[in-house]
Amino acid sequence: MNGALYLDKILTQFSSPLGLALILSLVGLILLLGRRRLAGAGLLLVALAGLGLCSLPVVADILLRSLEERYPEISVVELPSAEAVIVLGGGVDPRSKGRLYPDLQSAADRVWHAARIFHAGKAPLVILSGGIFPRRGTGASEAEAMQMFLIDLGVPAKAICLEQRSHNTHENAVFTAEMLRESGLTRVLLVTSALHIPRAMAAFRAVGVEAVPAATDFMVWEEPTHLLRWLPDVRSFSLSTAVLHEYLGLWVYQRRGWA
């Protein structure tokens, strides 16, 4: 992965709720030590309040719903037939030394969904998009990791095509679009998480691919609001962070002309 991509990853970490809270806290402490106590205390309170809000289940659900409801869930039966189904591999951790199998993590639902679509006869070809795991630099690609499980789910190897150069959603779209043009394919389904699909659809549209969304891995909880939904927890903080990452990604992609 080149320097620009590393820089993007680093900036993303520091622009997360935790990263921003740490920066605000550090600046606040410096101000306190510099005798600007009111300003320093204010920044510390803002950092604490931000962490607290992002940790509330009700807040996480509101944020999730704002993205996941853009492309509602569609059953496999209702999906139109296509020439290929594209599966994006964000979150896959390919085989590490000493481990026999990859960890699909959040991409597991995507692989399951692609297998369902294939076995339902909706598309004869599955394109798996994802390069070498960024922090490792060598070894299996995300696409290869997904292929292993897809074959175990009954999809024949001859029906699978790998795109192994991409490291982010923009590159997923660019390199997959090249493969589609070379093969003359135009009718495609796009599989990724419901949280990620707004940015993915925008990225593919920007490179001239009008895909049909086939979102999976919906995370909004359909349950009544009660006292426990107002108590902070780690899962909610993680979900809020993921949503804000997507909004930041959408904003950056729009500024760069990638969406």
Identify the band that residue 220 occupies on the pLDDT scale cut at 50, 70 and 90: confident
Please list, in sequence order, all residues whose beta carbon lies within 8 angstroms of the beta carbon of residue 218, skipping any fewer than 6 positions away: 68, 73, 194
Residue 54 is predicted with a pLDDT of 97
Say whether pLDDT at 13 is over 60.
yes
Lowest-pLDDT range of 98-102, 158-162, 210-214, 251-255: 98-102
Lowest-pLDDT range of 12-21, 48-57, 84-93, 128-137: 128-137
Lowest-pLDDT range of 53-62, 128-137, 215-224: 128-137
How many angstroms from the chain centroid is the CA of residue 21? 22
Q: Which residues of 131-165 are buried (b: 16+ CB within 10 A; e: fewer)?
A: bbbeeeeeebbbbbbbbebbeeeebeeeebbbbbb
Identify the band that residue 98 occupies on the pLDDT scale cut at 50, 70 and 90: low
> Mean pLDDT, to the nearest integer, of 149-167?
97
Summary mean pLDDT of the chain: 92
Domains of the chain: 9-69+233-256 (no CATH), 76-213 (3.40.50.620)
> Mean pLDDT, to the nearest integer, of 238-243?
96
Q: What is the dihedral of CA 16, 22, 24, 28, to 10 degrees?
A: 170
Identify the band that residue 164 occupies on the pLDDT scale cut at 50, 70 and 90: very high
Identify the band that residue 133 occupies on the pLDDT scale cut at 50, 70 and 90: low
Residue with more model confidence, 92 or 255: 255
| Inter-helix orientation angle 234-256/197-206, to 10° | 10
> Mean pLDDT, to the nearest integer, of 194-223?
94
Residue 132 is predicted with a pLDDT of 84
- CA proximity to 245, closest of 169, 142, 155, 161: 169
Identify the band that residue 9 occupies on the pLDDT scale cut at 50, 70 and 90: confident
Per DSSP, the three-state class of 161 is strand
Neighbours of 110 (CB within 10 A): 26
Identify the band that residue 107 occupies on the pLDDT scale cut at 50, 70 and 90: confident
User: Which percentage of the chain shows pLDDT scores above 70?
Assistant: 92
> Mean pLDDT, to the nearest integer, of 56-62?
94
Residue 129 is predicted with a pLDDT of 98
